[in-house]
Amino acid sequence: MLKAAVFASLLVAGLVAVPVASEARPIVPESAPAISNILPVQGYWERCRWLRERIRELEGRLYSAPPWERPRFERALYERRHEFRESCRRY
């Protein structure tokens, strides 16, 4: 009989706690979501494909560029690779 009473009280407490917990507000006030580098779904893969193509193009141009133009191509290649890593890499 004691086991049944304990079980019944735990069951009632659980049933009461579920609706209360589902309506509870967070302790910390909610704010607007922070700006992130999540891109919209439409255009995401196209942007990544475009960046890959630019990286390959710059690598080819850097390979055949005269010495005085190499710093410019290296800088552009660095920027495109950085942008690709930040926006297209998942992990």
User: What is the tens place of the pLDDT at every residue in 17-38?
Assistant: 666 555 666 665 666 555 555 5
Given a contact cutoff of 8 angstroms between Cβ atoms, the answer to whether 62 and 77 are in contact is yes
Residue 81 has pLDDT above 90, yes or no: yes
**What was the pLDDT predicted at 71?**
93
- Rounded distance, CA 22 to CA 26, Å? 11
End-to-end CA distance of the chain: 56
CA dihedral 64, 67, 68, 72 (to 10 degrees): 60
